[in-house]
Chains A and B, each alone.
Chain A
Amino acid sequence: SAVISQKPSRDICQRGTSLTIQCQVDSQVTMMFWYRQQPGQSLTLIATANQGSEATYESGFVIDKFPISRPNLTFSTLTVSNMSPEDSSIYLCSVLGGGNTEAFFGQGTRLTVV
């Protein structure tokens, strides 16, 4: 299994500001995934972060709004930029273990934009 440390666990932010979420894994992984979970909804993949290359964004998500860094094989950050109340969600990072078959998640970041 993989142990993922994600921080902050929660934050309340003013609209127009930015928040950077950090995700640290206890082992080296090729891909790290960032998800958004809006209130009462299931998970939506934002992007896949590979070390040494630009992140791959899913439809509806753009790099200017959600810049991602992946400086090494155990760490990644997701920034939520120029926030609005619609960005209020839980943001989660995830990696694969068990021979790339089983997904593991961080504790999540609960973001409220006021």
Chain B
Amino acid sequence: KQEVTQIPAALSVPEGENLVLNCSFTDSAIYNLQWFRQDPGKGLTSLLLIQSSQREQTSGRLNASLDKSSGRSTLYIAASQPGDSATYLCAVSPPSGGYQKVTFGTGTKLQVIP
């Protein structure tokens, strides 16, 4: 059974810092990995999608990497801003691409202090 762990559970940083969020998964046989952002009480916003054949994806100040062999992904946020404050979730989907069996991590709650 796939298990997804995100460390740390919470993180507080001053504005302007670069930071890294971690996502670990126990079964390296995945179809893709997706990073989401969730504001309090709201839905999920897709940030980056990494296919199993890719090693990283970039969007603006965000960069996500994927190392399937070690079962790890990182989300790098450059020059953090107070507007980045949210919970960040990673999710992995199985090799069959069956979305019904996607496994979500419990998230990292990020606070960026002005």
Interface residues of A (CB under 8 A from B): 1, 4, 6, 10, 31, 33, 41-43, 45, 48, 56, 58, 90, 92, 94, 96, 98, 100-108, 110
B43: which of A33, A42, A100, A108 is its contact (CB, 8 Å)?
A108
Residue total for B at the interface (Cβ-Cβ under 8 A): 22
A104 to chain B, nearest CB (A): 6
- Dominant secondary structure of chain A at its interface with chain B: strand
Interface residues of B (CB under 8 A from A): 31-32, 34, 36, 41-46, 49, 51, 89, 91, 97, 99-100, 102, 104-107
Bound-state CA distance A100–B96 (Å) is 12
Beyond contacts A10-B41, A48-B100, A107-B43: 13 other A-B pairs, Cβ-Cβ < 8 A, are A33-B99, A41-B106, A42-B89, A42-B104, A45-B102, A101-B31, A102-B49, A103-B99, A105-B36, A105-B43, A105-B45, A106-B43, A108-B42
